[in-house]
Amino acid sequence: MLEEKNKHYHIINYGCQMNQSDSEHYAGQLESFDYQLAGHYSGADLVLINTCCIRESAEKKIHGKIGELKHWKEARPGSVMVLAGCMAQKDGEKLLAKYRQLDLVLGTFHISRFAQILAEFSESRQRRVVVDEELSDDEFAGSVSRRSGFSAWTPIMYGCNNFCTYCIVPYVRGRERSRSEEEIVAEVRRAVAAGYKEFTLLGQNVNSYGLDWGKKGSFAKLLQSVDEIKGVERVRFMTSHPRDMGEDVVAAVAEGKHLCEHFHLPVQAGSDRIIAAMNRGYSREEYLKLVALVRSYLPAASITTDIIVGFPGETDEDFAATCSLVEEVGYDAAYTFLYSARSGTPAAKMPDQVALAVKKERLKKLMEIQNASGLKRNQALLGSVEEVMLEGASQTDVNMLTGRTRTNKIVVWPRSGGDMPPGALVPVLITAAQTWILKGQKENDS
């Protein structure tokens, strides 16, 4: 492998946190293969695009990027271009045939085999697609290369068993498989030793962690185990499925010392008819009960959600139910999406697809309602002192620092006094509230 020395890699990541975590795995394997990070693809000998296919808009962007990289590839004989992730899993053969600049197309089932596949490619220079769904025992093995220095993605399970009718994920990431608690705890311990303080436990549906071994209550227990690891300052988790989220998890967060009071509970829609057509497995009433349960244990917890507008058959009345639910819950933030038909999913074939103009109009209205709600929730924090984990200088003003509250709200405050390292916990007095950010000043700095 000596000839690989002094080569550079660049990863372009799209999609969710799970993809970011997978990209850290690819980076770790490339580094163990003696590649070094390049800040931009122009300085790289290997470019890996980690793809997402959750909505058509994501795919369009990625097609554009693959096209853009054609010139990079042509100008660098011997360079390697890898397409990985969900879109690669979905359309592997087609993509390899369409884009001559691609060397390797690697789906989501063989992340830990990347270094080996790359080594084989270096020998043979044979273009190749690896999308078979045969899982190996060492699926989760391999070193990761993290960059933030203080906050670590920690995958606890891969795949999804839910088959929401709009969603492509179960088709491109396979069935649920959970990592063992020992493996997760060992990974967190190693990251703590490397200086990491915040851990986000990741899975498509973290509440069903361990159910693949038939063990109920495993997620709450895992939260407790990670909470107890010395050096862990904050533990987050996502994504929760409202159908599977039990009181044991809410109670664990309430009792835990480092478990952050933030619940991301994707509701997707507010009308029972649409929730059922989405195959979500809960009713509006059950969802609202869950929100009430969270607030009964943790009145100050933040609650965020995902919502899709324009699901097939969504009427004005159904949409009004989504708006009223958003008002009733009073979310801290909501990620709102236009429904995007994904071929192969049941919803793509449903009648009464909603016109784009209608979807856009509904999205605009929903965002207005949510923005008002987010602002109100943030204004409630005016005058309070929040524990903020420092991330670093603000991107827009080097004289300002930025970080997050335990409830995952972004806070910006003026830099003052000596430099603190990223990951430091800073008490910040909140003095101004906007829809997406809070402003403040370090306590005792007035």
Interacting residues with ligand SF4 (CB under 6 A): 15-16, 18-19, 52-54, 85-86, 168-169, 172-173
Phi, psi of 158, deg, nearest 5: -120, 155
Please give the residue whose beta carbon sits closest to ligand SF4 in the complex. 15
Q: Say what the alpha-carbon torsion angle 274, 280, 281, 286 is, to the nearest 10 degrees.
A: -70
Nearest approach, Cβ of 14 to ligand SF4 (angstroms)? 7
Please identify, using beta-carbon distances, which residue of 23 and 405 lies nearer to ligand SF4.
23
Please identify, using beta-carbon distances, which residue of 22 and 233 lies nearer to ligand SF4.
22
Please identify, using beta-carbon distances, which residue of 326 and 433 lies nearer to ligand 5AD.
326
Please give the residue whose beta carbon sits closest to ligand 5AD in the complex. 306
Please identify, using beta-carbon distances, which residue of 54 and 62 lies nearer to ligand 5AD.
54
Please identify, using beta-carbon distances, which residue of 111 and 169 lies nearer to ligand SF4.
169
Q: Say what the alpha-carbon torsion angle 323, 325, 331, 336 is, to the nearest 10 degrees.
A: -50
Nearest approach, Cβ of 90 to ligand SF4 (angstroms)? 9
- Look at residue 15 and give the partner it binds from ligand 5AD, ligand SF4, none, a contact being a CB closer than 5 to 8 Å depending on partner kind: ligand SF4
Using alpha carbons, select from 160, 186, 185 the residue that is nearest to residue 171: 160
Nearest approach, Cβ of 379 to ligand 5AD (angstroms)? 27
CB burial of residue 418 (10 Å; 0-12, 13-18, 19+): exposed
- Look at residue 79 and give the partner it binds from ligand 5AD, ligand SF4, none, a contact being a CB closer than 5 to 8 Å depending on partner kind: none
How many angstroms separate the Cα of 107 from the Cα of each of 61, 178, 196, 248, 350?
Answer: 18, 19, 29, 35, 28
Q: 259: which 2 tokens?
A: 């478990």
- β-pairing, 157-158 vs 177-178, is antiparallel
State the Cα–Cα distance between residues 52 and 14, nearest whole angstrom: 6
Please identify, using beta-carbon distances, which residue of 131 and 325 lies nearer to ligand SF4.
131
Q: Tell me if 178 sits within 8 A of 202, measured CB to CB.
A: no
Q: Could you give the maximum distance between any two Cα atoms of the chain, in Å?
A: 65
Nearest approach, Cβ of 342 to ligand 5AD (angstroms)? 5
Interface residues toward ligand 5AD, by CB under 6 A: 54-55, 166-167, 266, 268, 306, 308, 337, 339-340, 342
Nearest approach, Cβ of 72 to ligand 5AD (angstroms)? 30
Nearest approach, Cβ of 15 to ligand SF4 (angstroms)? 3
- Look at residue 297 and give the partner it binds from ligand SF4, ligand 5AD, none, a contact being a CB closer than 5 to 8 Å depending on partner kind: none
Using alpha carbons, select from 255, 161, 152, 142 the residue that is nearest to residue 206: 161
